[in-house]
Amino acid sequence: MTLSISPVLNSADQVVSSLSTQQQPKVTEAEMMQAVRTLLIGLGENPDREGLKDTPKRVVKALQFLTKGYHESLDELLNGAVFTESADEMVLVRDIDIFSSCEHHILPVIGRAHVAYIPNGKVIGLSKIARICEMYARRLQVQERLTLQIADALQGLLKPKGVAVVIEATHMCMVMRGVQKPGSWTVTSAMRGIFSEDARTREEFMSLIRHNANFH
Per the annotation, the verdict on 133 as an active-site residue is no
User: Interhelix angle for 143-158 vs 126-137, to 10°?
Assistant: 140
Per the annotation, the verdict on 211 as an active-site residue is no
Distance CA 182, CA 168 (A): 14
Write down the catalytic residue from 45, 64, 105, 144: 105
Write down the catalytic residue from 34, 64, 144, 173: 173
Comparing CA positions, the residue from 172, 177, 192, 69 lying closest to residue 111 is 172
Per the annotation, the verdict on 173 as an active-site residue is yes
Helix/strand/coil percentages in the chain, nearest 5: 45, 25, 35
Per the annotation, the verdict on 216 as an active-site residue is no
Write down the catalytic residue from 14, 22, 104, 203: 104
Write down the catalytic residue from 141, 143, 149, 155: 143
Write down the catalytic residue from 31, 103, 197, 203: 103
Per the annotation, the verdict on 171 as an active-site residue is yes
Write down the catalytic residue from 102, 149, 155, 168: 102
Would you say 128 and 78 are in contact if contact means Cβ atoms under 8 Å apart? Answer: yes
Would you say 71 and 93 are in contact if contact means Cβ atoms under 8 Å apart? Answer: no
Per the annotation, the verdict on 103 as an active-site residue is yes
Distance CA 128, CA 81 (A): 8
Residues annotated as catalytic are: 102-105, 143, 171, 173
